[in-house]
Structure 1
Amino acid sequence: MNVKDAIRTLLFKRKNMIFNQLYTVWGENLDDEKVLTEYPRPQLKRSNYTILNGYWKYNITKEDVKPPYYDGKILVPFSPESALSKVMRQVKPGEILWYERPLIVEEKPYGKRLILHFGAVDQSCEILINYKKIEQHMGGYLPFSVDITDYITEGGNLLTVKVKDFSDKSYHSRGKQKLRRGGMFYTAQSGIWQTVWMEWVPQVHISSLSITPLVDESSIRLSINLNRPIRNSQEDRKMQQKFFKVDIYDHGKRIYSIIDDKPTLDIPMKNFTFWSPENPYLYDMVIRAGEDVVESYFAMRKVEIKEDEEGVPRIYLNNKPYFQNGLLDQGYWPDGLYTAPSDEAMIFDIEQAKALGFNMLRKHLKIEPLRWYYHCDRLGMLVWQDMVNGGGRYNKLLVGYLPTVFPKVQSLIKDRCYFLFGRTSKKGRLEWIEECEETIKHLYNNPSIVTWVPFNEAWGQFDANKICQLIRSVDNSRLIDHASGWYDQKGGDFKSIHNYFHPLKYKKDKYNRAVVLSEFGGYACYIRKHSYSPMVYGYRIYTDTNSLEEAVKKLYKEDIERLKKEGLSAAVYTQLSDVEDEVNGLFTYDRKVCKVTKPLI
């Protein structure tokens, strides 16, 4: 057999490879009539809402015309590529995914508005009510809402969602999705993948909150943002008088109450309790703005970089040095892809990470539903939040092989060379910047988030120092890992290292930043009947769980403990769970097997 025939045979086998459709226990026991029924926004919670998850009609077409028929039913909010959707079909660039379902409105209350919410729709979508287009949204990771009051009638209405997904064939943000999945890139998914719901609200209502813990001042700053400004009319001026009321509760006991006409309030927090992974102490709030009432919560915590007694820059949490033991968390599920089968599934990942001895999760190139962050807040799990990467095709030599084999090459290349990093599209760069700002504002109130990570391993990286300044202008209360892995631009709060192949060493950063090992390990162990693919992807292969555990424990006991003493501030092990070909998780992809004993560290 010649070389061409060998390659052709290998590609044929790869194309026709049989993959295992794995299910989690939550997917196996999923009640199709009760899919992710919890209120999606725990920090802006109302009592009057309707969850719209469940079976919708769907079709996939190549024509930009609403079809007269439908292919069948899809279980929302699972993407059509997932097993739980009951479709299991890839939506490709150039195709259109149509959703449709009835909206029954028994009554339109006087003075109320009906808001329709989408947690996330990947990637570009149009919303139609009764065949009339009322909203368009671009971006597959962030929520959006639309006021549908003027488009609905009492009785039956029709909601249609029209979706296009360019996946990895454009500059739009895509994370680790790839149409030709394999290795460290995973099955591309599309369409609705977070909860859809609607709620009635007053004419003037709270659209968002901004909650900033001011630890040094023993207070919090609360900004209440309305859907529209208070107008200079007699009716609005009357409404504005004593318009805002805030009650603070400490485990059910009201400890503070204020009534004011200003939307931004500094609220004293005397004798407060710090939030930490060891003591995830939350305070509850009830906020009234006119006729609108929402429930929320907050925590008192502070994160910063300071020099310790020996002059070593370290991460401080609540004014004390705090080493962050982290896990890389991709947020993929074998049966739901981007969508966890249930609230309990999300809780499982967080609790098991804590049980293994970790106090931090690095959410990798994905934005989760707000309920995931809520569980991190209440269970006590620090979060490093990656921005979702985008841009054109990545140069594997530049962003993969060169910095791994020859680390010093990083210092020779600047990220303003857009063509090297797949960032030649100005429109794409501006879109990413807008999404970056929106992500920060979207997740700003979650105390568990302590670090923003705008770029990972140069995937779609550009102008990292300017982006760092932008992030600080939006949020100066958290840390920034401006270029995680390589192509360090000498900014941010960290010297951020990825090291899978070389001996682990500590060297103080000459720019006086804290040093973090933001990815390492990646030890792989294939578990038969619990692995998705016959392919094995990892950075060091182990044939049984005993040898895997021995190697990981040795890594922590001998290397990480030594580096901590020398000055390392955080370490992120790859990774929480297997994902498709990647079998370097501490849990299998279906979460049914933990490959190590607890606690691991």
Structure 2
Amino acid sequence: MPASESMSEAATSTSPAMAMSTPWTYQVTPDNAHPEHPRPQLTRPTWRTLNGLWEYVGRDADGVVHRGERILVPYPPESRLSGIGRRDERMWYRRTFDVPPEWRTGRVLLHFGAVDQIATVWVNHQLLARHEGGYTAFTVDITDVLRPDAEQEVLVRADDEGNRGTFAVGKQANQPGGILYTGCSGIWQSVWLEAVPEIHVTDLDLTPDLRGFDLVAHVAGASSPPTVDVSVALGDEQVTSVRGAAGERLRLDVPDPLLWGPDHPHLYDVTVRVVNDDGDVLDEVASYVALRTVRVAPDGDGPPRVLLNDRPVFLNAPLDQGYWPDGIYTAPTDEALRFDLERIKALGFNSVRKHVKVEPMRWYHWADRLGLLVWQDMPSLPVVLDNPPGPQAPPVAVARRRFETELRAMLHQLRNVPSIVVWVVFNEGWGEYDTARITEEVKSVDPGRLVVAASGVNCCHSHPDSGAGDVYDDHTYVGPGRPELAATDPRAIVDGEFGGIGLVVEGHMWPGEPLAYEMAPDRDRLTERYVELSTELEALARDRLSGAVYTQLTDVENEVNGLLTYDRRVVKVAVPVVAERNRAVIAAGSGQ
């Protein structure tokens, strides 16, 4: 029996929910767990994955310590694919690895895509790092503690209190139910090694417009700023280049520029080389960039609209929560990540709202490649949803500090992603506080994207409308909402959530009572209801509405209001009909 099957069966035996699989569940083995390069916008050939089987010890919420287990990284222990199928609050991961001799001439970096919530890292028994926050990447330079003649050892301790604690959690819950779901603990994104020269590129800043882009190359290891050569190519043809100093803003104008958008997601390849005075290449990294702008402005004499590349565009999106029955927070494979986005395109959408979760960088890579306009939520702090509607007390001080620290880290990590056009700071008042101040800070950090201060400002636990940000965001179920603003209000208007029509598909259900805002009896009626809502939406799009988010792409645990089942095996609507309606809405709201 393959190792993956025996591990899956062990995890399945702990919970009926773990029996649900996806088309990719049985493709996963310890030898092929997310083997792709985890950081597509900054690559070198000298890297290797540490995904696979790790030794594992977990202490659960009752204080019971489970020893002698193995876990498949990068799947969280709650998941079937991890081989554990249990929620632990303290986790110890250990494995050994080798460092190739040719890597010894420079630095060796250990990268973590995400570890929820606090990660402590030892290499060869030396404490090297402590990282807080479950949604952002971090890097450890392990060069100075490497052994010269033996295997290397890495030990990671992860501490995760779930939504009992003071970190952003999105919709993770220790007691899942309703619109809150199974939590994700510990390592849940790829772990990998990278060899870099002593003088090496650490990061790039890419700021595009409609004629080209500005680039800043950040370089470590040099006593003074070295020279960098930058070349830009489209396919096999170089289109422009520039030479300058690391750390300085370099301008690259692109002749006959091809702009990025949903219909034509043109990407330019970027190569950055660090060179010495003799012209020798000290380091080389590959990246990519897209030429596009987004802003809100009046459409001629009309109301404020979202403008992509100076042209009106209606952002028509499904809500995408990024949950998987077999991997929970971690998609089973890269193909599965891509599948969801390809299905969104096939359904006629041009956009997607990533709801209170930050995905691995490869998800954004596929959104860039496929041409989807991304609304990126900041994961929310824990919230009690049983309280009466209206603003709740502000989070405690340490939670506020951690939220803002992780928000800044998210903005930095995702700043170069072309497909992201909207930041969403708060959702329905969950953990909301100091709305205007934080929104203004986000806008000052990234003036080239739109900011939603409070998605669903009209409902739930949201604070009164602060007027901050670029977009007023309404939630109405089943809707669509018909929000109105004063004619002088400069913000665009969107229905940040609507829909939520459910359909139960037997044999494709998570255990428990199915939930939706309205139930349809069969596929035909669900499609009819979608057409009815979409027809109303089209009329609103012709008026002032600039975007809408339908709830939702897939079922999630007991929520059955997806266009697909949770296991991705059944599309619950007639795709040609829904796609035609979605394209009609986009055309109406884009002035076509």
Tell me if TM exceeds 0.5: yes
| Cα distance in 2 between the residues matched to 1:579 and 1:503 | 21
Give unpaired runs (5+ residues) of structure 1. 1-15, 404-412, 414-419
Pairing 1:459–2:430 present: yes
1:494-533 CA distances to partner (integer Å, 9 max, x unpaired)?
1110000567424244523111000000111111111112
Gap change, CA 1:591 and 1:259, over 3 Å in 2: same
Q: Is the 8 A contact 1:524 1:583 kept in 2?
A: yes
Aligned match of 1:51:
49
Q: Is the 8 A contact 1:120 1:192 kept in 2?
A: yes
Gap change, CA 1:503 and 1:191, over 3 Å in 2: closer
Pairing 1:75–2:52 present: no
| Cα distance in 2 between the residues matched to 1:421 and 1:368 | 29
Q: How far apart are 1:537 and its partner, in Å?
A: 1.1
Q: Is the 8 A contact 1:394 1:460 kept in 2?
A: no
| Cα distance in 2 between the residues matched to 1:377 and 1:552 | 27
Pairing 1:183–2:178 present: yes
- Matched position secondary structure for 1:560: helix
Candidates 384, 400, 410, aligned match of 1:394: 384
Candidates 193, 212, 215, aligned match of 1:219: 212
Gap change, CA 1:167 and 1:256, over 3 Å in 2: same
Gap change, CA 1:283 and 1:539, over 3 Å in 2: same
Q: Is the 8 A contact 2:20 2:510 kept in 1?
A: yes
Aligned match of 2:197:
202
Aligned match of 1:10:
none
Q: How far apart are 1:545 and its partner, in Å?
A: 1.3
Gap change, CA 1:210 and 1:247, over 3 Å in 2: same
Q: Is the 8 A contact 2:478 2:500 kept in 1?
A: no
Q: Is the 8 A contact 1:373 1:446 kept in 2?
A: yes
Aligned match of 2:400:
429
The one-letter code matched in structure 2 to 1:521 is: G
Gap change, CA 1:275 and 1:249, over 3 Å in 2: same
Aligned match of 1:86:
83
Q: Is the 8 A contact 2:230 2:271 kept in 1?
A: yes
Candidates 278, 292, 297, aligned match of 2:263: 278
1:89-123 CA distances to partner (integer Å, 9 max, x unpaired)?
1113xxx2110101222427454000000000011
| Cα distance in 1 between the residues matched to 2:153 and 2:521 | 54
Candidates 93, 97, 100, aligned match of 1:99: 93
1:455-490 CA distances to partner (integer Å, 9 max, x unpaired)?
000001111111111111211000011100023211
Aligned match of 2:253:
268
Q: Is the 8 A contact 1:509 1:515 kept in 2?
A: no
| Cα distance in 2 between the residues matched to 1:109 and 1:28 | 35
Q: How far apart are 1:250 and its partner, in Å?
A: 0.9
| Cα distance in 2 between the residues matched to 1:320 and 1:213 | 16
Q: How far apart are 1:170 and its partner, in Å?
A: 1.4
1:409-461 CA distances to partner (integer Å, 9 max, x unpaired)?
xxxx6xxxxxx2441x2222122112111111100111100000010000011
Gap change, CA 1:314 and 1:106, over 3 Å in 2: closer
Pairing 1:327–2:324 present: no
Candidates 539, 544, 547, aligned match of 1:562: 539
| Cα distance in 2 between the residues matched to 1:192 and 1:546 | 42
Map 1:115-134 → 2, pairs under 5 A: 115-134=109-128
Aligned match of 1:514:
492
| Cα distance in 2 between the residues matched to 1:20 and 1:267 | 51
Aligned match of 2:19:
21
Q: How far apart are 1:269 and its partner, in Å?
A: 1.5
Aligned match of 2:447:
476
| Cα distance in 1 between the residues matched to 2:567 and 2:507 | 10
- Matched position secondary structure for 1:276: coil
Aligned match of 1:590:
567
The one-letter code matched in structure 2 to 1:200 is: A
- Matched position secondary structure for 2:128: strand
| Cα distance in 2 between the residues matched to 1:201 and 1:503 | 52
- Matched position secondary structure for 2:176: coil
1:542-565 CA distances to partner (integer Å, 9 max, x unpaired)?
1211111110111102x1011011
Q: How far apart are 1:309 and its partner, in Å?
A: 3.0
Candidates 507, 511, 514, aligned match of 1:529: 507
- Matched position secondary structure for 2:213: strand
Aligned match of 1:39:
37
| Cα distance in 1 between the residues matched to 2:515 and 2:393 | 25
- Mean Cα deviation higher: 154-163 or 450-459: 154-163
Candidates 506, 519, 528, aligned match of 1:541: 519
1:214-255 CA distances to partner (integer Å, 9 max, x unpaired)?
22xx22100111235x42xxxx57xx2xx2011100112111
| Cα distance in 1 between the residues matched to 2:449 and 2:117 | 29
| Cα distance in 2 between the residues matched to 1:108 and 1:220 | 36
Q: How far apart are 1:262 and its partner, in Å?
A: 4.4
Q: Is the 8 A contact 1:508 1:567 kept in 2?
A: no
- Mean Cα deviation higher: 143-152 or 96-105: 96-105
Gap change, CA 1:327 and 1:397, over 3 Å in 2: same
Aligned match of 2:418:
447
Map 1:295-374 → 2, pairs under 5 A: 295-374=286-365
1:274-311 CA distances to partner (integer Å, 9 max, x unpaired)?
10000000000111124111100000111111112342
Q: How far apart are 1:191 and its partner, in Å?
A: 0.7
* CA RMSD, Structure 1 to Structure 2 (Å): 2.0
1:66-109 CA distances to partner (integer Å, 9 max, x unpaired)?
x9x942211000011100011101113xxx21101012224274
| Cα distance in 1 between the residues matched to 2:509 and 2:107 | 48
- Matched position secondary structure for 1:105: coil
Q: How far apart are 1:20 and its partner, in Å?
A: 6.1
Aligned match of 1:252:
236
Gap change, CA 1:585 and 1:395, over 3 Å in 2: closer
| Cα distance in 1 between the residues matched to 2:523 and 2:60 | 47
Q: Is the 8 A contact 1:328 1:363 kept in 2?
A: yes
1:557-576 CA distances to partner (integer Å, 9 max, x unpaired)?
2x101101111100000000
Q: How far apart are 1:390 and its partner, in Å?
A: 1.1
Q: How far apart are 1:127 and its partner, in Å?
A: 0.5
**Equivalences, count:** 548
| Cα distance in 1 between the residues matched to 2:68 and 2:254 | 57
Q: Percent identity?
A: 39
TM-score, scaled to structure 1: 0.88
